[in-house]
Amino acid sequence: MEDRYRSEPLNRHHDRASFSCGVEVLDRYFQHQAGQDQRRGLAALYVLIDATTGALVGYHTLSTFSVFPKSLPAELTARLPRYETLPAILVGRLAVDRRYRGQGLGQLLLLDALARCLAISHDIGALVVVVEAKDDAARAFYEHHGFLPFADHEHRLYMPIATIAKLGL
């Protein structure tokens, strides 16, 4: 299946207008703000394309991020120096078009985001990947894939880069 789909940076030739994941803020963001965020350096946008049809199946965003050590469990931070904040990568938004749901493409998109985070972490250093879940269903999706909740943030979850490194991506 992986051969059929490719991910690439968003560009102006991608058809964003017809994208619909059913969560209005994510649709509106992708249609009206994503390009601007990318140009301004606020987020890198990646899209998943069905190579056989050219259809845009989903998107995710990556940005640098930082977390307070006290937000993470002691076993992850106990042996670290007492830095004020710790480096992270944020998957701020991730969505699959409704027409392509339930075919493993959300997972493919997430694995693409994680593989990119792992590669980036070799260049800039990052302890964890953080995801923002827009609602309970999104939170359940990330928990299903092994993300752990922050103690002090209901809809924010994380996965250590060390865990991602073991996934063999």
Ligand X SMILES: CC(C)(COP(=O)(O)OP(=O)(O)OC[C@H]1O[C@@H](n2cnc3c(N)ncnc32)[C@H](O)[C@@H]1OP(=O)(O)O)[C@@H](O)C(=O)NCCC(=O)NCCS
Q: Which residues bind ligand X (CB under 6 A)?
A: 21-23, 26, 93-96, 101-107, 133-134, 137-138, 140-141, 144
Q: How far apart are CA 8 and CA 116, in angstroms?
A: 11
Closest CB 79 distance from ligand X, rounded Å? 31
12 by DSSP, 3-state: which? coil
CA atoms lying within 13 Å on the CB side of residue 5: 23
- Residue number with the smallest Cβ distance to ligand X: 106
Per the annotation, the verdict on 158 as an active-site residue is no
Closest CB 123 distance from ligand X, rounded Å? 25
CB-nearer residue toward ligand X: 140 or 167 = 140
- 160's CB contacts (< 8 A; 6+ apart) are 76, 127, 128
Closest CB 75 distance from ligand X, rounded Å? 26
From the list 29, 46, 142, 158, the catalytic residue is 142
Residues acting as catalytic residues: 142
